[in-house]
Structure 1
Amino acid sequence: MQKQQTVLITGASSGLGEGMAREFASKGYHLCLCARRIERLEALKSEIEQAYPKANVYIAALDVNQHDDVFDVFERFKSEAGAIDKIVVNAGMGKGASLGTGYFAANRATAETNFVAALAQCEAAMGIFRAQERGHLITIASMSALRGMPRAMTVYAATKAGLASMSEGIRADLLKTYGNNSPIKVTTLFPGYIRSEINEKVKNTPFMIGTEEGCRKMVKAIEKAPVKAYVPGWPWCVIGFLMKRLPLSWVLKLT
C-alpha cells in the first residue's frame, strides 16, 4: 500500500488554498496548512478531521511577508509531519491600479506578496526537498502571466510571470544536478477564471467556474506532476496558445 502523503499549502484559510486542502484531504493526504487567519484554519482543521478521521491536519499562523517565519513554519511542519511530499506556493493577493495613478503602496504590496514572499516559500521548500532528496514543488501562477495586463492587473500579472520564470529556473537547476530523473519535481499551474476571494467582486466573466470544481481540477493536475498546466485545460489551452501569439490589443479582448 502506498504511503499516505503530506501536502503543505500556504494561503490555506480561504479561496483556492482552502478548496485544495479539502480536495487533497478527500484523496487521503495529510495536511500542513498555514495562513494569517488562524481562526479560519482551526475551523477548516476541525471540518476535515471530522470528515476524514485518518487525516493528520497541522496548522500554523503565517504571514508570508515575514520571511523568517516562512522558514520556521515550514521546518516546524516537517518536524511534526516527519516529511513533506508536496508544497503548494499559493498565498497571494491582487491589489493594485494603473501605474502612475497614486496607488504605489497597493502595487508594492502585491509585488512583495506574490513574488518576494513566493521566493521565500520556494527557498524554504527547496531546502526541505534537497535535504529529503525528494519532493514536489507546486507554484500557482495565472493565465495573466502570459502577457502584460492593464490597470489593476498590471503588477499582478508581472508577479505571476516572475513566479513562472522562477519556477522554470528551479527546474533548470534541478536538471543540472539530477538530469532528467530528478527526484524533485516542479509544477507551475496557470489557473484561468476560478471563483475565489480574490475575484469575488468580478461579475459576468466568461469561462468562470466555481471554486470547488476549480480546486478539483487543480489537484488532479498537480497529481500528474506536469512541468506546467493550464487549469481548466479547456478552454485555457487554446486561449493560452493565442495569448502568446496575438497582438496585445487582441489579447485584451480575450481576457
Structure 2
Amino acid sequence: MFKRLQGQTVFITGASAGIGEACARSFAAAGSNVIITARRTDRIEALKAELEQAHPNVRVHAVTLDVTSKEQVDQVVASLPDDLQQVDVLINNAGLVLGLIPLVDYKPDQIDTIINTNLKGLIYCTQAFIPRMKQQTAGGTIINVSSISGHDVYPNGSIYCATKFAVDAITRTLRYELANSNVRISALSPGFVETEFSMVRFDGDKKKADKVYQGMTPLIGEDIAETALFIASRPPHVEVAEAIVVPKGQASINYIYRKEES
C-alpha cells in the first residue's frame, strides 16, 4: 500500500516524542527518508541512530529546531543536505498545551507558548515549504496534525482549542490557495492519544495525566502515524481533506465512555 512513499523525503516537526516520533518510525519503515526535527537534540539523535540501524537503506537527518523561531525554520530548511533538498511530505506535528485553566487565569507567557508553538510554528514551516513544493514536478503533501479540539471546545481549554480551530481554518484556506498546484493539504485530527501531551499539560504530574485515560483505551502515536502514511501515500489525484481519528468510545470531545473499574 505504501510503495509510493519509498525514496520520498519526509520532514517532521516535534519528532522527539509521541506522534512525531511514531511518524518517523512509520515512514522510515515504509522506505522514506526522514528529516526529524525537535528542540530536544538528545532525543532526535537517539532516534536517528535507532532508525539508521533498523533501516540502513533510508537516509535519516536529525536537526535541532524550535518552530517558534521563523529565523530558525528558514535557516534549517535552507541548509538541508543536497540529497534531501526535495521534501515530498511535510508533517506539521509540533504542538502542546499548558494547563487546564479558565481563560481569565491564563498567564501571558502560557498564552504565547501555546500560540507560538501550535500556530506560528505551523505557519512558519508551511511558508518555508510551499514555494519549494510548488516548483517540484511531483508537488508535495502537507499534513497538519490538528485535533478534535479544532472542531469543538471544552471547559478550560480555550487557548488550545483556539489554536486548533485556527489550524483548521488555515488548512481549509490553503486548499483554495493550492488548488491550482500539485501540493496537497490535509488535516489529521486525533481524539485522545496517550503520549507526553497530558504530562506536559499537567507539568509532569503523572497521576493527573493517567486519569485522563482512565477507564478507556486511548489511541497511541502509531495509530496516528498509520493514518499519516495513508494520507501521504494516496495517488496524486487524491487529496484527503481531513481525517478525524478517535478511540472507540469517544463520541465527541466531551463524551467518552469509560468502563467502571472492578
TM range (shorter): 0.7 to 0.9
Match of 2:72 in 1: 69
Q: Give, in whole Å, the separation in 2 of the partners of 1:184 and 1:148.
A: 30
Q: Is residue 193–residue 207 contact of structure 1 (8 Å, CA) maintained in 2? A: no
Report the CA distance between 1:71 and its aligned residue. 1.3
Structure 1 residues 32 and 20: CA distance shift in structure 2, 3 A: same
Match of 1:28 in 2: 31
Q: For residue 153 of structure 2, what is the amino acid of its counterpart?
A: G
Moved more, 224-233 or 166-175: 224-233
Q: Is residue 78–residue 84 contact of structure 1 (8 Å, CA) maintained in 2? A: no
Q: Is residue 32–residue 77 contact of structure 1 (8 Å, CA) maintained in 2? A: no
Structure 1 residues 235 and 124: CA distance shift in structure 2, 3 A: farther
Structure 1 residues 199 and 19: CA distance shift in structure 2, 3 A: same
Q: Is residue 134–residue 182 contact of structure 2 (8 Å, CA) maintained in 1? A: no
Match of 2:218 in 1: 208
Q: For residue 233 of structure 2, what is the amino acid of its counterpart?
A: E
Secondary structure in 2 aligned to 1:100?
Answer: helix
Q: Give, in whole Å, the separation in 1 of the partners of 2:246 and 2:182.
A: 27
Aligned length: 237
Secondary structure in 1 aligned to 2:36?
Answer: strand
- Quote the sequence identity (%): 27
Match of 1:231 in 2: 245
Deviations 1:72-110 (A, max 9, x none): 112222644131110001111111421112533212210
Match of 1:125 in 2: 129
Q: Give, in whole Å, the separation in 2 of the partners of 1:206 and 1:169.
A: 35
Report the CA distance between 1:222 and its aligned residue. 3.8
Q: Is residue 13–residue 92 contact of structure 2 (8 Å, CA) maintained in 1? A: yes
Match of 1:109 in 2: 113
TM-score (norm 1): 0.84
Q: Give, in whole Å, the separation in 2 of the partners of 1:51 and 1:102.
A: 44
> Which segments of 5 or more consecutive residues in structure 2 lack a partner in the other structure?
200-208, 258-262
Report the CA distance between 1:39 and its aligned residue. 1.2
Q: For residue 38 of structure 2, what is the amino acid of its counterpart?
A: A
Match of 2:150 in 1: 145
Q: Give, in whole Å, the separation in 2 of the partners of 1:106 and 1:38.
A: 23
Q: Is residue 164–residue 188 contact of structure 1 (8 Å, CA) maintained in 2? A: yes
TM-score (norm 2): 0.82
Report the CA distance between 1:254 and its aligned residue. 4.8
> Which segments of 5 or more consecutive residues in structure 1 lack a partner in the other structure?
244-250
C-alpha root-mean-square deviation of aligned residues, in Å?
2.3
Q: Is residue 214–residue 232 contact of structure 1 (8 Å, CA) maintained in 2? A: no
Structure 1 residues 214 and 139: CA distance shift in structure 2, 3 A: closer
Q: For residue 227 of structure 1, what is the amino acid of its counterpart?
A: A
Of Structure 1 and Structure 2, the greater helix share is in: 1
Match of 2:198 in 1: 199
Report the CA distance between 1:235 and its aligned residue. 6.2
